[in-house]
Structure formats: structure tokens, C-alpha cells
């Protein structure tokens, strides 16, 4: 079974004024949340990866955790985060958009469970989709957080507040947070918060955990898998276990790439393959990737495709995103220059006691095989004090035999849950 796990850690220190009155208008997931999610995914993939190395991100987890943090930002910090995170609107509108997206994801899981129950009545085993998204705030028990901030995150992001004692036992707090993340991700994410990330100055850790396990709509036959050449890093070929199947998949060929989308059970999630025309074309295709393209490609026209896809598994080391976010323009959130961070909507900002983000850490795991995909992601923000259908035609053959991009997307909204590229499937 394919497996995918992701971790993101944000660390924020003490600082912040109060939310304005929430707008009664809730902007849709497709017009606010999806563009922001896909855009930050593209930006960070380009900023943190190299074409000759495997790469993996969860744009949904990253943006969700940062959107919760953004809800507490004010002044210039808020302006910078708005630009970098591609978020527009007031706190209630943005939170409502993420709540709407979460509701759609919850609905697809419920539909899958109902379908599985119906199949059991006819004696057939049909595993439902498992998609669990959890948010939580781990905050210093005696710190003066804004009630409006805590209420917004609880009601819209379903992120309850859990009191912690960072001042006297930050080591124990680290264990509590890591245990919670491991539990929510079926142990796919271990040690989200590394040693040294928390201190007695830590005031808040905002965490998003994501777990996905879903079978393909059309599983590959394990007997058909065999070694075939793959041009590793766009160069010399090496034999790797390669799956193959012939089915109707989403398909298009445009602007130097071949696109194939494989639906998961229920047809609401899909695995999108973005294959460059040239063996060494990954860097150029990735440079031209946009959030709009990802959204547009979430519903490709159907075509009979004979697909050859390598099995692959990757478990990158922890990725620090602080520098990448700074270079994208999010500086004052990290208190650069010193004294500039403003999270007054999260907690009252005082001259000598204010919050700022200390770090953002990301950890992932994925394994793609004949049965489907299992994925997990965790994001923590820690704060310190200071398609349309086509007629069937003759099958087109697509051999994924050189570096390619991939995305796991929600077809209804186009939101990108996971994004990465494979340079070496071995």
C-alpha cells in the first residue's frame, strides 16, 4: 500500500491586539483556500528542492498551519504573511474557506464508509478511504492569549487549546506534542518536534496533522509489475520495479508535458502525474508550474491509457522552511528585524513580551505501490516569547521512465494535499 507522511513544525514566541468583528460571508474553499494551498506548494517546492533529488511537501498541511498562525498576525507581519501565503480577506473569511474545504474532505470519507458498508452486505470487501485531519494548539497555560483568537481556531479550524507548562517542563511538552502527532498519523510521523526546538520561552505550538490511506479506483496487478528502465536523475537508466495497467484515466498532452491522473476509490481524490517530454526536463517543467495549472489539471478528459509507473518510496530528512519563507518575503513573522514581529491578534503585544515564529519544520514519507496510497503529514507552528469526458479511443501508451512531478489532489476543489517530484524511484 502506498504510504505518504508529512510533518511541518512552526515555533512562535510571546507577543499581540484583538480580532475585528468576523465577516458573515464565508468565502468558498475553491476560491480562497485552494489557490492559496496550491500557490504555497509551488513556491516552496521550487524554493527547497533540486531536480536531481526526490522532493515531497504537503501544501495543504503547510498552508493550514500557517493560516492558523496568520489569524493571529497584525500590522506589517499580517501584510507580509498575506502576500507569501496568498491569503486575502479577513480572519473569519479565510477560516471559513478552510472550514468549507475540511467539510468537503470529511464528506468524501463519509461517502466512502457508506459505500464500504453497502458492499459488505453483498459479501464484498471494500476498504474505505481513511482521511484524518487534526489541528491543535499547545499553549502555555498562564499566557494571555486572545479569547477571540482561540475561539476562531476552535470553531473554524477545529483546533482546541491544550494547556502546557513550557516554562517548567518543555521536555515533557515536547513528548506530549510528538505523541499526539504520532497518534494522529498512525506513527508515520515520529519526532515532529526535535530536541532543542522548544525552550522555557516557548509559548505556543500550532499543529496540523494529516493522515491519508486510500486504494486506487483501479488497482495495479502485482503480477504485472516487473523491472523496467528509469532514467535516474534524467541520466543513465537503471531497472526499477514498474507497475502497468490499461484503463481509462484522465489524460492530456500540453506545453511540453504529458498529464495522467489516476483516481482513488470514489473518484474524489486523484494522483496526478506530470511527466516532462524530455528525459532531463524536470527542472524546466517545475520552473513553469503554477497554482492555476494544478487547479486546471484536477479534472482531465478521460482517455484509454496503457500506463507504466514505477513503484517508489521516499522518506526525506526533516526540512526547515524558515529560510525559504523569509526569502519569499515573510520576515517580520520571524522577528526580522528584531522587535518587528506583530501577532497582537493572538496575544497582547507588549514591548518586552511578544510572539514571533522561531522555526518551521517539515517531515514527509511516501510509498506508492499496486494497491493505493497511504500518506501522513504534520505541521507545527511554535511560538516563543520575546473535468469533462471524451469518447474512448485507441489507448495511448505512457511510460513514466524519467523524473516526473506528482500531486495528490481533491478533484472537486483542485486543492493539492501533497506535491513532489521523483528523481530516483529506487
pLDDT at 289 over 70: yes
C-alpha cell at 396: 495511448
| Paired residues of 271 in beta bridges | 262, 408
What is the reported pLDDT for 319? 80
What is the reported pLDDT for 122? 64
Mean pLDDT of the chain: 87
Distance (Å, whole) CA 156 – CA 31: 17
Which H, E and C letters describe 131-160, residue by residue?
EEEEEEEEEECCCCCCHHHHHHHHHHCCCC
pLDDT at 260 over 60: yes
Average pLDDT for 350-360: 88
CATH 3.30.497.10 location in the chain: 3-215+314-385
The answer as to CATH 3.30.497.10 being correct for domain 3-215+314-385 is yes
What is the reported pLDDT for 111? 87
CATH 2.30.39.10 location in the chain: 222-312+388-422
pLDDT at 1 over 50: no
- Of the chain, the percentage scoring pLDDT greater than 90 comes to 65
- What is the topology classification, in CATH, of domain 222-312+388-422? Alpha-1-antitrypsin; domain 1 (2.30.39)
For 39-62, the pLDDT digits (tens) are: 999 999 999 999 999 999 999 999
Long-range own/partner contacts, residues 236-242 (CB < 8 A, 24 or more apart)? 237/401, 238/426, 240/310, 240/311, 240/312, 240/425, 240/426, 241/310, 241/311, 242/308, 242/309, 242/310, 242/311, 242/401
At 212, is the pLDDT very low, low, confident or very high (cuts 50, 70, 90)? confident
At 387, is the pLDDT very low, low, confident or very high (cuts 50, 70, 90)? very low
What is the reported pLDDT for 91? 83
Residue with cell 506508492: 368
At 281, is the pLDDT very low, low, confident or very high (cuts 50, 70, 90)? very high
At 399, is the pLDDT very low, low, confident or very high (cuts 50, 70, 90)? very high
| Paired residues of 407 in beta bridges | 272, 419
What is the reported pLDDT for 124? 63
Amino acid at each position: 500500500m502506498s504510504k505518504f507522511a508529512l510533518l511541518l513544525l512552526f515555533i512562535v514566541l510571546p507577543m499581540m491586539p484583538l480580532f475585528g468583528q468576523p465577516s458573515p460571508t464565508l468565502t468558498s474553499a475553491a476560491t480562497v483556500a485552494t489557490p492559496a494551498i496550491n500557490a504555497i506548494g509551488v513556491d516552496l517546492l521550487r524554493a527547497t528542492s533540486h531536480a536531481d533529488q526526490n522532493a515531497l511537501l504537503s501544501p495543504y498541511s503547510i498552508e493550514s498551519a500557517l493560516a492558523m498562525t496568520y489569524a493571529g498576525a497584525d500590522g506589517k507581519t499580517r501584510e507580509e504573511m498575506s502576500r507569501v501565503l496568498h491569503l486575502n480577506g479577513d480572519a473569519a473569511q479565510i477560516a471559513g474557506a478552510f472550514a468549507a474545504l475540511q467539510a468537503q474532505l470529511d464528506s468524501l470519507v463519509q461517502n466512502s464508509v457508506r459505500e464500504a458498508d453497502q458492499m459488505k452486505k453483498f459479501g464484498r470487501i471494500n476498504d474505505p478511504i481513511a482521511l484524518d485531519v487534526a489541528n491543535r494548539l499547545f499553549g502555555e497555560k498562564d499566557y494571555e492569549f486572545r479569547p477571540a483568537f482561540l475561539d476562531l481556531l476552535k470553531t473554524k479550524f477545529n483546533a482546541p487549546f491544550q494547556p502546557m507548562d513550557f516554562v517548567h517542563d518543555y521536555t515533557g511538552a515536547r513528548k506530549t506534542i510528538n505523541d499526539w502527532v504520532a497518534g494522529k498519523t498512525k506513527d508515520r510521523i515520529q519526532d515532529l518536534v526535535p530536541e532543542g526546538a522548544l525552550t522555557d520561552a516557548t509559548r505556543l505550538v500550532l499543529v496540523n496533522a494529516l493522515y491519508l490511506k486510500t486504494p486506487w479506483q483501479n488497482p495495479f496487478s502485482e503480477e504485472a509489475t516487473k523491472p523496467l528502465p528509469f532514467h535516474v536523475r534524467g541520466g543513465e537508466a537503471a531497472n526499477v520495479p514498474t507497475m502497468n495497467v490499461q484503463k481509462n484515466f484522465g489524460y492530456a498532452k500540453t506545453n511540453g508535458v504529458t498529464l495522467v491522473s489516476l483516481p482513488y476509490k470514489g473518484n474524489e481524490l486523484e494522483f496526478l502525474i506530470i511527466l516532462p517530454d524530455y528525459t532531463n526536463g524536470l527542472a524546466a517543467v517545475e520552473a513553469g508550474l503554477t497554482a492555476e495549472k494544478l487547479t486546471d489539471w484536477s479534472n482531465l478528459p478521460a482517455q484509454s491509457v496503457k500506463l507504466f509507473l514505477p513503484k517508489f518510496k521516499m522518506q526525506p530528512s526533516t526540512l526547515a522552511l524558515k529560510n525559504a519563507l523569509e526569502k519569499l518575503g515573510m520576515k517580520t513573522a520571524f522577528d526580522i528585524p528584531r522587535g518587528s514581529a506583530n501577532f497582537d491578534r493572538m496575544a497582547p503585544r507588549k514591548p518586552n513580551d511578544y510572539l514571533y515564529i522561531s522555526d518551521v519544520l517539515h517531515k514527509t514519507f511516501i510509498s506508492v505501490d499496486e494497491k493505493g496510497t497511504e500518506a501522513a503529514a504534520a505541521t507545527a507552528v511554535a511560538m516563543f516569547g520575546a473535468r469533462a469526458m471524451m469518447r474512448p479511443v485507441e489507448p495511448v501508451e505512457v511510460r513514466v521512465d524519467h523524473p516526473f512531478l506528482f500531486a495528490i489532489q481533491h478533484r472537486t476543489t483542485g486543492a493539492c494535499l501533497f506535491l513532489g517530484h521523483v528523481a530516483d524511484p529506487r
